[in-house]
Structure 1
Amino acid sequence: MDTDARPRRRGPYAKSAERRRSIVDAAFEVFAARGYQGGSLQDVADRVGMSQTSLLHYFPSKADLLVAVLNRRDVVADTGPLEDETRDFPTILIDQARFNEGVPGLIELYTVLCGESVTEHYPARDYFEHRFARLRDEYSAELRKLEAAGRLREGVDIERAASSIVALWDGIQTQWLLDDSVDMAACLADYLGLIIRPSAP
Structure 2
Amino acid sequence: MDGSRARGPRGPYAKTESTRGVILDAALDVFAESGYRSGSLRTVAERVGMSEAGLLHHFPSKSALLAAVLERRDEQTREQFPFDPVHGAELLRSFIRLAEYNASTPGVVELFCTLAAEATSPEHPAHGYFAERYESTRKITLTALRQLADSGQLRPGISPETASRGTIALMDGLQIQWLLDRTSVDMAADLGSYFNTLVERPL
Instruction: Provide the TM-score with structure 2 as the length reference.
Output: 0.82
**Does structure 2 conserve the Cα–Cα contact (< 8 Å) formed by 1:31 and 1:39?**
yes
Distance 1:92 1:81 in 2: 7
Gaps of 5+ in 2: 1-9
Q: Secondary structure at the match of 1:196?
A: coil
Distance 2:46 2:122 in 1: 28
Tell me how many residue pairs correspond in the alignment. 191
Of stretches 111-120 and 180-189 in structure 1, the one that deviates more from structure 2 is 111-120
**Does structure 2 conserve the Cα–Cα contact (< 8 Å) formed by 1:73 and 1:106?**
no
Distance 2:85 2:157 in 1: 26
Q: Secondary structure at the match of 1:121?
A: coil
Distance 2:121 2:35 in 1: 12
Q: Is 1:77 aligned with 2:85?
A: no
Look up the equivalent residue of 1:166 and give its one-letter code: I
**Does structure 2 conserve the Cα–Cα contact (< 8 Å) formed by 1:151 and 1:199?**
no
Distance 1:43 1:77 in 2: 25
* 1:185 matched residue in structure 2: 188
Gaps of 5+ in 1: 1-9
**Cα 1:125–1:80, aligned 2, differ >3 Å: closer, same or farther?**
farther
Q: Secondary structure at the match of 1:88?
A: helix
C-alpha distance after superposition, 1:135-174 (max 9, x if no partner): 1111111111111222222222221110110111111112
**Identical aligned pairs, as a percentage?**
43
Instruction: Provide the TM-score with structure 1 as the length reference.
Output: 0.83
Look up the equivalent residue of 2:41 and give its one-letter code: L
Q: Is 1:26 aligned with 2:29?
A: no
Distance 2:90 2:60 in 1: 43
C-alpha distance after superposition, 1:45-102 (max 9, x if no partner): 2222222112111111111101110111112214664168596343232122223333
Q: CA deviation at 1:19?
A: 2.0
* 1:64 matched residue in structure 2: 64
**Does structure 2 conserve the Cα–Cα contact (< 8 Å) formed by 1:31 and 1:113?**
no
* 1:108 matched residue in structure 2: 110
Distance 2:84 2:74 in 1: 15
Q: 1:88 aligns with which of 87, 90, 97?
A: 90
